[in-house]
Structure 1
Amino acid sequence: MGRVMSTATPPVARRSRRRPQVITWIILAILTVYALAPLLVFAFNSLKSAREIGSNPLGLPQAWNWDNFATAWEQARMGGALLNSGMIAIATGVGVAIIASMAAYAMTRLDLPGKGGWIVWLLVSSSLPIQLFLVPLVSWWSQLQLYNERIGLVIIYWAVYSPFATLLIRSFLVGVPREFEEAARLDGAGEFRLFFRVVLPMVWPGVLTAGLVAALQAYNEFMLAVTFIQDRAYQPVALSLYSFQQGFTTDWSLVSAAGIIMALPVVILFLLMQRKFIEGYAAGGLAN
Structure 2
Amino acid sequence: MKRKRKKTSVWAVVVLVLLAVICMLPMLMVLLNSFKTHTDIIMNPLSVKFSAGLENYIKAWHDGNFGRGILNSIVYTGCTVIVVLLFASLAAYVIGGRKIRGTSVIHGYFLVTMTMPVYLFLVPLYRVYAKMGWLGNHVAVSFILAATSLPLAISLLRAFFMAIPKELEEAARIDGAGTLQVIRHIILPLLSPGLVTVGIITGLNSWNEFLVSSTFLTGEENFTAMLSLMSLNGTNTANQGTNMAATVIIVAPIIIFFVIMQKRFVEGMVSGAVKG
Per the normalisation by structure 1, the TM-score is 0.91
Which of 165, 170, 182 is matched with 2:158 structurally? 170
Which of 222, 242, 245 is matched with 2:230 structurally? 242
Structure 2, gaps ≥5 residues long: none
Name the CA distance, whole Å, in 1 between partners of 2:151 and 2:20: 33
Name the CA distance, whole Å, in 2 between partners of 1:181 and 1:111: 12
1:140-179 equivalence runs, <5 A? 140-179=128-167
Name the CA distance, whole Å, in 1 between partners of 2:2 and 2:190: 45
Q: Judge conservation of contact 2:35–2:50 (CA < 8 Å) in 1.
A: no
Name the CA distance, whole Å, in 1 between partners of 2:74 and 2:61: 16
1:15, CA displacement in angstroms? 5.2
Q: Judge conservation of contact 2:159–2:275 (CA < 8 Å) in 1.
A: no
Name the CA distance, whole Å, in 2 between partners of 1:236 and 1:247: 17
Per the normalisation by structure 2, the TM-score is 0.94
1:144, CA displacement in angstroms? 2.3
Name the CA distance, whole Å, in 1 between partners of 2:116 and 2:262: 29
The residue number in structure 2 matching 1:272 is 260
Give the 3 Å change call, closer, same or farther, for CA 94–59 of structure 1 in structure 2.
same
1:287, CA displacement in angstroms? 10
1:105-144 equivalence runs, <5 A? 105-109=93-97, 111-144=99-132
1:139, CA displacement in angstroms? 1.5
1:176, CA displacement in angstroms? 0.5
1:17, CA displacement in angstroms? 4.0
The residue number in structure 2 matching 1:91 is 79
Task: Check if 1:27 corresponds to 2:15.
Answer: yes
Residue by residue over 1:164-188, the C-alpha shift from the partner in whole angstroms, topping out at 9 and shown as x without a partner, is 1111111001010011211111122
Residue by residue over 1:23-50, the C-alpha shift from the partner in whole angstroms, topping out at 9 and shown as x without a partner, is 3233223212211111111001100011
The residue number in structure 2 matching 1:46 is 34
Q: Judge conservation of contact 1:93–1:213 (CA < 8 Å) in 2.
A: no
Q: Judge conservation of contact 1:41–1:59 (CA < 8 Å) in 2.
A: no
More helix by share: 2
Residue by residue over 1:109-159, the C-alpha shift from the partner in whole angstroms, topping out at 9 and shown as x without a partner, is 353131111110110111211121112111222122222221222010110
Task: Check if 1:198 corresponds to 2:152.
Answer: no
Give the 3 Å change call, closer, same or farther, for CA 77–169 of structure 1 in structure 2.
same
Larger mean Cα displacement after TM superposition, 127-136 or 144-153: 144-153
Larger mean Cα displacement after TM superposition, 69-78 or 103-112: 103-112
Structure 1, gaps ≥5 residues long: 1-12
Aligned residues: 276
Give the 3 Å change call, closer, same or farther, for CA 286–179 of structure 1 in structure 2.
closer
The residue number in structure 1 matching 2:208 is 220
Flag the structure with larger Rg.
1
Name the CA distance, whole Å, in 2 between partners of 1:81 and 1:25: 40
The alignment-based identity, stated in percent, is 31
Residue by residue over 1:50-85, the C-alpha shift from the partner in whole angstroms, topping out at 9 and shown as x without a partner, is 111111112211535122212211111010000000
Which of 229, 233, 246 is matched with 1:258 structurally? 246
